Amino acid sequence: MTEPYRILGQNGSPYSVKIRAIMRYRRLPHVWDQRSARAVKEVEHVKPVLMPMVRFPSDGAWRVDSTPIAMELEQVHEERSILPSDPAHRFIAHLIEDMADEWLTKAMFHYRWHYQHASDYAAYWIASDNTRSGEGAMAKRAEFAKYIQDRQVGRMPLVGCTPENKTVIEESMERILHALESRVGYESFLFGTRPSIADFGLFGQLKTIIDDPEGRDVAAREAPTAFHWIRHMDDLSGLEGDWFDQDDPLPAAVTALLRVCGDAYLPFLIANRDALDSGADEIRMTIFGEPFAQAPFAYQAKCLSRLQSLYRQVPDSGRARLDRLLEQTNCLKALRNEM
């Protein structure tokens, strides 16, 4: 039997469940293990400390960062790719996935830690995943829950999850849910009847959102069909499907998600880059007509550079179609570096 991939992650980590769902859909042999205190010594040499950590059987080395892991899997395995066959569609899928990873994650963090009842629930959930049962377990879990809650709540301003940004974050979540509600369902995905890297990026954040009480209530109320689509996405190993052809009209959901990119995410990336270039310690901007502020991050400058590079790689045969949609959704200037 071929040695399996080993995924060290946590069910409360959006990037962990994203990679696990990709592995399941692609039917890649893998072992899932909780990144608990028991497993920490196995990966204490792996830097940076991100979730998930995936050990590749080809060389026995560990990888981190979900998008590079997903892309390396594409290089190693041809079957059941999660990249649309049409280059223009493929770029859009990359853009939506990046938005999910770097922007929708603010909603995941917000709904988990902003509301007290959700914060208490998440802290104990994470503590339960990190402490063994047995004598004294309840006290250890309570202690760990307090530690993780204090740490994560303390990090909220750093990732932009502040009371000032609450309206923008919750508006982003509702726009994404409404977009998905117009399209997704059993065997219905953004780029055909099979899931793309964009579907999995959205799934990772939304799966953990609906596992928390406040986010679950919002999603079930605003997008009941998408709510159950999220549950389906967790294991699509039995699904067969096809991509849209290049001339097929893309669903309205794709356009709506691109508008979130064009109205919120890409302007945020540009402002983040400009703040880093000028040495500013804060981004201040307006999104959806509301104020938004947070500290800049070097990693998100890399995200902008990567997206601009992927845009330039789209062949001329698909560029005109792509540019029309990107211009319509306010994405084009940022991707051309014209902002």
**Model pLDDT for residues 270-320, shown as the tens digit of each residue:** 999 999 999 999 999 999 999 999 999 999 999 999 999 999 999 998 899
Share of the chain above pLDDT 70, in %: 99
**Identity at 334, one-letter amino acid code:** A
Q: Which fold has domain 5-76?
A: Glutaredoxin (3.40.30)
CATH 3.40.30.10 in the chain, residue ranges? 5-76
Reported as a single tens digit per residue, the pLDDT across 70-109 is 999 999 999 999 999 999 999 999 999 999 999 999 999 9
Per-residue pLDDT at 1 exceeds 60: no
Distance of CA 233 to CAs 176, 194, 261, 311, Å? Answer: 16, 10, 22, 27
pTM for the whole thing? 0.96
Per-residue pLDDT at 153 exceeds 70: yes
User: Contact, 127 vs 142, CB < 8 A?
Assistant: yes
How far is residue 41's CA from residue 114's CA, in Å, rounded to a whole number? Answer: 32
- What's the count of helices (H) and strands (E) in the chain, helices before strands? 16, 6
Reported as a single tens digit per residue, the pLDDT across 192-210 is 999 999 999 999 999 999 9
Placement of tokens 């769902």 in the chain: 21
How far is residue 170's CA from residue 201's CA, in Å, rounded to a whole number? Answer: 18
